[in-house]
Amino acid sequence: MHIRTQSALLDIQQYTPEDVDRISSVLLDGLPLTEMEKREMGGAVQGGAMQVINGAVWGSLVAGLGLLALFNFARG
């Protein structure tokens, strides 16, 4: 494990600050945007993704509770 850690640290040391600060995204890389515009868009994309995930979680909870209630009343 020690050798893998050293190898990972050597890989990290090859990066320049510009590489680390660069925004890389499958959605944003193909667009003709500056790095600052990508940062702004990245926040919007992240916020939208979180809303979709939250909606899916709450929707599945509501649907699960609805199915449980339906089965409970159908049995009784």
pLDDT tens readout for residues 12-64:
777 776 666 666 667 667 778 787 787 777 778 888 889 999 999 999 999 99
- For residue 71, being part of any structural domain is answered with yes
Of 55, 57, 54, 26, which Cα lies nearest the Cα of 42? 26
- For residue 74, being part of any structural domain is answered with yes
Q: Give the pLDDT confidence score for residue 18 in this predicted structure.
A: 63
Residues 23, 38: contact at Cβ < 8 Å? yes
The phi and psi torsions of 53 (rounded to 5 degrees) equal -65, -45
Domain that holds residue 35: 24-76
Statement: residue 5 has pLDDT above 80: yes
Q: Give the pLDDT confidence score for residue 64 in this predicted structure.
A: 95
Counted domains in the chain? 1
SS3 34: coil
Percent of the chain with pLDDT over 90: 29
Statement: residue 68 has pLDDT above 80: yes
- For residue 58, being part of any structural domain is answered with yes
